[in-house]
C-alpha cells in the first residue's frame, strides 16, 4: 500500500471499468499526494475533520487532511539505474574533460562504444580524470573498466569510492550528485484534465509525460535491478583481486553496453524533467516572476513613441499621463511637504489605485511648481526618494500615533 510521499509506479492516471477511478499507484494518487476533497478519504470512511483529522484510512490508505496537501506533497520515482544530477553536470564535465564530453550527453550514447576510455584516480584519491588508454600514469591508478556510457562511468566512480576510497568520488555519492531517486512534483502544480473533445484522452502539463516515460523505463528494466547489483558485486571482487595481485586485466562484460544504453535513456528523461521544472520557474513567464514577485517595478510606464524625424531630441515629449506614473514619487513628496496632506489621505486616495484623471489639476500644479526656476533648490532637497513602501511605513506610524492618543 502506498504512503504519503511514496513511490509512483503506474503510468496510468485513471483505472476502473469506466476509466474514472484514480490509479492509486499513478501520478494523481490520493494516497501518495493527499486527498482531493478536504478532510475526506477516498472511500468516505473518514470524513469528519473534528475526529478523523490526520488519520490514515485503513481501507483506502488516504489520509484525512486538507486538500492543500496536493499542492505541496512530493512523490518519488526510484530509478533502476542511477543518473548524474543535471544541475551538477559541470562538476562531471571537469572529470570527463573536453575530449570526452559526449560521455555526459545521453543523445550521443550510441557513438561511445567505439573509442576506449578509462577513469584515472590519483593515489591520494583527490583527483579523478577520464583518460584514453590503460597505460599507467605516475601517481595514478587507472581503473580497468572500459567506459562506454553513463552506466560504466558511474560504475568506475563507484569503484573509486568503494574500493579505492577516493575522497573525490565519495563526495559525489555522499552529496547526491549521482542520484537514483527523482522527486515527483505535487499534482496540483502539474494539472491533468480530461480532453473535452476526445473521450478517454487527457491533456496534461508536459512534465507528466516525462514522468510517465521514466516510470515506463522502470517497468522495462525492473528485472535488471537485482541482476545489476549482483553483477557489480562480482565485478568489484574480481577487480579487487586483480588489484591485490598485480594482474592487468580489463573488465569485459557484454551486459555493460546494454546497461549503458538503459542509463542513457534514464539520463535523457531526468534531464527533460529538470529542464521543464526550470522552464516553469525561471524567466519572465516563470512561476516566480509571474506569481510570487508580483509587481516589482514601481513607477514605470511603457509606450511606443513615434516621432517626427525632423524634431530635435529635446523636443520630444511624453504625455502627462505617463509623466504622472514616472514622477509619482516626486508628486507624493510635493503633496506631503508642500500641500500638507497627511499620509493617511495620501495612501488611501493616491496610491491604492492609479487615477490620473481625478488628480489632473493638482498634478499640473505640481508640474508648474517642479519646473519653475525659483523652486529648483527645493527640488534638490528632495533627496529621500519616497516610495510606496516608505509611504506605507509612515502611514502605519501615523496610525499608531493616532491610536495612542485615542487610548
Ligand atoms: Zn477510506
Residues 160 and 179 in one domain: yes
Region 191-208: mean pLDDT is 83
What b/e sequence results for 75-109 when a residue is b if at least 16 CB atoms lie within 10 Å of its CB, and e otherwise? bebebbbbbbbbeebebbeebbeeebeebbbbeeb
Answer whether 256's CB lies under 8 Å from 148's CB.
yes
Q: What is the distance in A from the centroid of ligand 1 to the CA of 31?
A: 10
Domain total in the chain: 3
**Nearest C-alpha neighbor of 331 from the set 286, 300, 363:** 363
- Measured in Å, residue 196 CA sits from the centre of ligand 1 at 30
Which pLDDT tens digit goes with each residue over 363-398? 888 888 877 766 666 555 555 555 666 667 777 777
Instruction: For residue 56, report the distance from its CA to the centre of ligand 1, in Å.
Output: 8
User: What is the pLDDT at residue 215?
Assistant: 95
Which residues span the domain enclosing 66? 1-73
On whether both 171 and 52 belong to a single domain, the answer is no
Same domain, 223 and 353: no
Q: What is the CA(203)–ligand 1 centre distance, in A?
A: 28
Task: Give a yes or no: residue 305 inside a domain.
Answer: no
The span from the CA of 361 to the CA of 367, in Å, is: 10
Residue 28: CB partners within 8 Å, gap ≥ 6?
A: 13, 14, 22, 187, 192
pLDDT at residue number 262 = 92
282 and 150 inside one domain: yes
Residue 17 CA to ligand 1 centre (angstroms): 20
C-alpha cell at 325: 506614473
Q: Is residue 136 part of a domain?
A: yes
Residue 194 lies in a domain: yes
User: Do 393 and 361 belong to one domain?
Assistant: yes
Size of the chain, expressed as the number of residues it contains? 407
The CA distance from 406 to 390, in Å, is 24
Residue 393 CA, ligand 1 centroid: distance in Å: 50
Interval 320-359: pLDDT, tens: 888 888 888 888 888 888 888 888 888 888 877 777 888 8
Distance CA 335, CA 310 (A): 38
Q: Is the pTM of this model over 0.85?
A: no
Query: For 149-184, how does the pLDDT look when each residue is reduced to its tens digit (9 = 90+)?
Result: 899 999 999 999 998 899 999 999 999 999 999 999
3 Cα: distance to centroid of ligand 1 (angstroms): 13
Distance (Å, rounded) from C-alpha 94 to C-alpha 130? 9
Amino acid at each position: 500500500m502506498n504512503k504519503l510521499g511514496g513511490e509512483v509506479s503506474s503510468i496510468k492516471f485513471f483505472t476502473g471499468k469506466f476509466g474514472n477511478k484514480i490509479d492509486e499507484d499513478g501520478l494523481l494518487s490520493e494516497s501518495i499526494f493527499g486527498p482531493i476533497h478536504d478532510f475526506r478519504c477516498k472511500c468516505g470512511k473518514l470524513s469528519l475533520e473534528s475526529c478523523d483529522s490526520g488519520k490514515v484510512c485503513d481501507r483506502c490508505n488516504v489520509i484525512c487532511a486538507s486538500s492543500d496537501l496536493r499542492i505541496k506533497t512530493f512523490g518519488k520515482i526510484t530509478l533502476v539505474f542511477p543518473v548524474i544530477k543535471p544541475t551538477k553536470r559541470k562538476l562531471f564535465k571537469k572529470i570527463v574533460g573536453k575530449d570526452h564530453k559526449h560521455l555526459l550527453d545521453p543523445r550521443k550514447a550510441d557513438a561511445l562504444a567505439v573509442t576506449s576510455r578509462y577513469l584515472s584516480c590519483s593515489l591520494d584519491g583527490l583527483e579523478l580524470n577520464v583518460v584514453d588508454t590503460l597505460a599507467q600514469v605516475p601517481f595514478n591508478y587507472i581503473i580497468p573498466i572500459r567506459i562506454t556510457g553513463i552506466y560504466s562511468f558511474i560504475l568506475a566512480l563507484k569503484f573509486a569510492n568503494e574500493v579505492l576510497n577516493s575522497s573525490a568520488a565519495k563526495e559525489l555519492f555522499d552529496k547526491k550528485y549521482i542520484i537514483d531517486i527523482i522527486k515527483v512534483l505535487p499534482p496540483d502544480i502539474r494539472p491533468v484534465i480530461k480532453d473535452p473533445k476526445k473521450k478517454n484522452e487527457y491533456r496534461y502539463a508536459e512534465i507528466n509525460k516525462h514522468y510517465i516515460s521514466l516510470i515506463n523505463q522502470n517497468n522495462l528494466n525492473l528485472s535488471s535491478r537485482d541482476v545489476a547489483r549482483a553483477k557489480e558485486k562480482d565485478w568489484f571482487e574480481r577487480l579487487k583481486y586483480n588489484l591485490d595481485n598485480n594482474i592487468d586485466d580489463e573488465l569485459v562484460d557484454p551486459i555493460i553496453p546494454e546497461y549503458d544504453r538503459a542509463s542513457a535513456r534514464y539520463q535523457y528523461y531526468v534531464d527533460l524533467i529538470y529542464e521543464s521544472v526550470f522552464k516553469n520557474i525561471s524567466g519572465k513567464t516563470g512561476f516566480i516572476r509571474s506569481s510570487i514577485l508580483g509587481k516589482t517595478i514601481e513607477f514605470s510606464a511603457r509606450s511606443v513613441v513615434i516621432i517626427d524625424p525632423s524634431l530635435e531630441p529635446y523636443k520630444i515629449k511624453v504625455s502627462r499621463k505617463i509623466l504622472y506614473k514616472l514622477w509619482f514619487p516626486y508628486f507624493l513628496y510635493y503633496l506631503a511637504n508642500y500641500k500638507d496632506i497627511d499620509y493617511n489621505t495620501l495612501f488611501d486616495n493616491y496610491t491604492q489605485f492609479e487615477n490620473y484623471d481625478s488628480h489632473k489639476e493638482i498634478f499640473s500644479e505640481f508640474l508648474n511648481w517642479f519646473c519653475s526656476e525659483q523652486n529648483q533648490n527645493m527640488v534638490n532637497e528632495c533627496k529621500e526618494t519616497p516610495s510606496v513602501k516608505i509611504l506605507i511605513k509612515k502611514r502605519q506610524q501615523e496610525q499608531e500615533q493616532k491610536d495612542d492618543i485615542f487610548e
